[in-house]
Chains A and B, each alone.
Chain A
Amino acid sequence: MWGGRPLSCGNRLLGVLGSRCRGARAQAARFTGRAEIQFNWTPQTKPWVFSDYRIMWFKSYRMTFACLSRMKIHRFYFIYLFMRDTWRESETKAEGQPGSSQVWDLIPGSGSHPEPKADAQLLSHPGVPKYPWTRLYSTSQTTVDSNEIKTFLALAHRWWDEQGVYAPLHSMNDLRVPFIRDNLLKTVAHHQPGKPLSGMKILDVGCGGGLLTEPLGRLGASVIGIDPVDENIKTAQHHKSFDPVLDKRIEYRVGSLEEIVQETAETFDAVVASEVVEHVIDLETFIQCCCEVLKPGGSLFITTINKTQLSYALGIVFAEQIAGIVPKGTHTWEKFISPEKLESILESNGLSVQTVTGMLYNPLSGYWNWSENTSLNYAAHAVKSKAQEHPVPAEFVFKGETEELRDKDSTDSTNPGVQEELKK
């Protein structure tokens, strides 16, 4: 009687369970939008299914069919079947070749499945980057995947609808902006009230429509946002043009990170790559480029999705195909990266990892929370070392230490003890 939203909790639950056709017209529009994407996406992936994944995809299509026909009971049964099969297949896959997931090829229309021999030849060629799926771009190093571009292009004008397809990203700002802000404020002695990040230069890689770029700009930083999709930059540019303060603080450019590395080496206090590393092809190069554009002591902020069973089940199957929280085709599970792997890549490029924390999305409330558990989404903060010379790899330092210790202790009795300790 006095306003508020008395039925909203119930409605949210129903929405999540997939009765999307009920409700506002916007819902219907979104539904057809997803159907369009699905329609565009299916021909590209179907021919490229490996035998060991074919069953999984087939079952997922059956499930989406079940969704469309609104038979909830069947859906849950298919989910059960699906989960059971995934679990079984993953167990068998674990015993199989470790490298099979890496040669997942999503490049459309290129005829046949690559031969293993051809790959080996390509890999041995000095000019080709080491991951086979970049062979179409073998003349230049790039981390951008053209298929990802297509997916995002279809939704380029939907960025700023806070209740639309990108709603989870809007509400993720409640976590990522304080995360970036607080970690950057630790590096300064005092800050201006009202503009805590003023004086900082930040690069937002894969800025999309500028969802994270604008809050950082409002906090006083000068931000450059880059994105390979031209439409995204247009949307972002258009959105910031109405605010005179943001117009001055933010600059948008179309392109990839590799293209600007030369001209912007060591100029940024912080690089933000939020929800980006699960879309790039060559993560090693990407991180290298991030490191190059950072000032010594600068921060790199990454938020991404872990590569686990749970992230497949919830992040792809549930979020994309059942509940529609994320547009279909946004993510591919193979590109997800575990925090351990990310940490090792970061450390090997001279970035010391400060924090890794899990994030959890509650689809019923629409809010994100920090969590101890990193098995779904997580955020990482790494700092570029301030040392001038190239960072020495860890094992050399280790050996140097053992040699020093051996020199110090000439007695035989202590040496094995020391070596055992070092081995631990």
Chain B
Amino acid sequence: MAARLAASRWRAPPAAAGPGPLLSCRRWSGARADAVYDVVVSGGGLVGAAMACALGYDIHFHDKKILLLEAGPKKVWEKLPETYSNRVSSISPGSATLLSSFGAWDHICNMRYRAFRRMQVWDACSEALIMFDKDNLDDMGYIVENDVIMRALTKQLEAASDRVTVLYRSKAVGYTWPYPFTMADSSPWVHITLGDGSTLQTKLLVGADGHNSGVRQAAGIQNISWNYDQSAVVATLHLSEATENNVAWQRFLPSGPIALLPLSDTLSSLVWSTSHEHAAELVSMDEEKFVDAINSAFWSDANHTDFIDSAGAMLQYAVAFLKPTKVSARQLPPSVARVDAKSRVLFPLGLGHAAEYVRPRLALIGDAAHRVHPLAGQGVNMGFGDVSSLVHHLSAAAFNGKDLGSMSHLTGYETDRQRHNTALLAATDLLKRLYSTSATPLVLLRTWGLQATNAVSPLKVRCSWFSQKSCSLRIDFANDS
């Protein structure tokens, strides 16, 4: 009854259902022959594969049919390559809990990952810094290569092949949405047309096909997005000397943040977000100049001004006076010796957020729902958080015998995740804008703000808790009877 008055969105078939009438003729004739899947996940990336895996291992989905559609070919991997991949992700403890709930984390542990215990974030224009760590120096997060995660997920999907079917090289080219409620002879399911002409029917379509989501466009869901005037350069770096490499470093330069993420004792991964021109320059310059640019980006104090320095020092004395216990001196990251050949790549950055995450029989997860700047390392963690929440709601619905595509539990997922993601997206965007300038008032503001946050432990703990809790709540998988 509550939704009666917000009925317009739930009732209206989207404008993009143009091919509907034509397809409906085909539907009627061929409908009975198609298998009806319970859930189809469109997009086999990190988040989509994790979704299919989580459903496949969920105890209440044991007699349900799940399908994963992946446009690319199946990656065959005999053994772990020696060279590290340049695309890595920072996995929060909550995401690690999700991955371990269906057994993928064990595979990752058997391959390779790096835990980091501390994170230092500091400004290029002042001495202000903030240091995150956990009380007992527990692992704050894990740096894992994307390929390793994908490999672990693929292994688990193969092990669950009786419940989850994976179709490689299948790209969905058309979607047909059901009418609001059953009309004579119109199928209540979502119809998906694949590139080879075959059709599938499903009770729930989960869109996990990236920030240019075809599912989202076909559903006509409004997407608020803009491109940042920044591109990210990634590379694998060799350090000058082996260290106990368990700190993640990030420095905010006026052109954008530069981050060094530990991969092993001698290797680190670089993520440098900077303007398009500078990024293109960095990728094409020769190795020595590139290494020098990185080292000076981390070490140089060229952007410091006396005014800011003295203002910062003043606040620092005040803090030390009120709270004499903690003294965090700025540490310097390890110096870089060389870069792996052919590991320098750039990709553009932007922000995106879908106005609605759910429609009847449709849910968006991962980058299809939200796209964020990598400065906080939260992109894939938000996606895993979406997976965790949606699987929780679907599992409860399946145990109650509900129709999986029903809006009543899908809106629960949407509310859950929009609350979390919107806050994180807004905060990340704000940080990005705040640190993109070297105008004195803003530098002063952010210097004092950063110092204050570093000093006030509850606030700091709250920030790190929020970014790490992405999906540590509500994981109830196969352990339930």
Contact = CB atoms under 8 A, between A and B. Distances in A.
Nearest to B62: A194
A417 to B, nearest CB: 50
A164 B182 CA distance: 13
Given A8-B2, A8-B5, A238-B182, A3 B64 contact: no
Nearest to B201: A242
Given A160-B182, A171-B408, A366 B3 contact: yes
B187 A242 contact: yes
B8 A24 contact: yes
Contact of B7 (A163, A181, A193, A365): A163
A193 B400 contact: no
Contact of A177 (B6, B59, B401): B401
A194 B59 contact: yes
B248 interface: no
A5 B62 contact: no
Interface stretch (B324-332, B350-358, B381-389): B350-358
A350 interface: no
B205 to A, nearest CB: 16
B189 interface: yes
A27 B357 contact: no
B1 A162 contact: no
A174 interface: yes
B307 interface: no
A364 B61 contact: no
B417 to A, nearest CB: 11
B297 interface: no
Interface residues of B, number: 44
A220 B2 CA distance: 30
Nearest to A23: B5
Given A161-B180, A242-B187, A366 B2 contact: yes
Nearest to A30: B4
A196 B59 CA distance: 11
Interface stretch (A61-69, A138-146, A210-218): A210-218
Which of B4, B415, B422 is the most central at the interface, judged by chain A CB atoms within 10 Å of its CB?
A: B4
A173 B402 contact: yes
A2 B6 contact: no
B135 interface: no
A11 B355 CA distance: 20
Contact of A239 (B182, B402, B406): B182
Nearest to A197: B401
A6 to B, nearest CB: 10
A366 B400 contact: no
B378 to A, nearest CB: 16
Tell which of A8, A216, A217 has the most Cβ of chain B within 10 Å.
A8
B4 A26 contact: yes
Nearest to A176: B400
Contact of A194 (B63, B181, B189): B63
Contact of A24 (B11, B61, B422): B11
B62 A192 contact: yes
Contacts of B4: 15, 23-24, 26-27, 163, 167
Given A192-B62, A194-B61, A366-B2, A173 B400 contact: yes
A400 interface: no
Interface in A272-327: 325
Given A3-B355, A162-B406, A364 B2 contact: yes
Contact of A219 (B184, B357, B401, B414): B401
Contacts of A178: 400
B125 to A, nearest CB: 31
Interface string A169-187: 0110110011001000000
Contact of B5 (A24, A174, A219): A24
B475 interface: no
A195 interface: yes
Contact of B63 (A4, A8, A195, A363): A195
Contacts of A214: 401, 403
B353 A2 contact: yes
Contacts of A220: 63
A253 interface: no
Contacts of A238: 182, 184
A75 B154 CA distance: 64
Nearest to A170: B408
A26 B8 CA distance: 9
A331 to B, nearest CB: 17
Contacts of B403: 214, 218
B216 interface: no
B90 interface: no
Contacts of B422: 2
Interface string B177-202: 00011101001110000000000000
Interface string B1-27: 111111110110000000000000000
A243 interface: yes
B60 interface: yes
A110 B402 CA distance: 45
A12 interface: yes
A9 to B, nearest CB: 9
Contacts of A162: 3, 181, 406-408
Contacts of A33: none
B1 A363 contact: yes
Contacts of A239: 182, 188
Contacts of B101: none
Contacts of B181: 160-162, 164
B11 A193 contact: no
A132 interface: no
A239 B186 CA distance: 10
Contacts of A174: 400, 408
A163 B187 contact: no
Interface in B272-290: none
Interface string B28-61: 0001000010000000000000000000000111
A176 to B, nearest CB: 10
Q: Which 5 A-B pairs have the closest CB atoms?
A: A194-B62, A215-B401, A366-B2, A11-B5, A218-B401
26 contacts: A1-B224, A2-B224, A3-B356, A4-B414, A8-B3, A12-B5, A23-B4, A24-B8, A26-B7, A26-B11, A27-B7, A160-B182, A162-B181, A163-B3, A174-B408, A177-B400, A181-B401, A194-B59, A194-B62, A216-B401, A217-B401, A218-B403, A242-B31, A325-B1, A364-B2, A366-B2
Given A173-B402, A242-B36, 11 more contacts: A4-B415, A23-B5, A24-B7, A163-B11, A164-B181, A177-B400, A178-B400, A194-B59, A194-B63, A195-B62, A366-B1
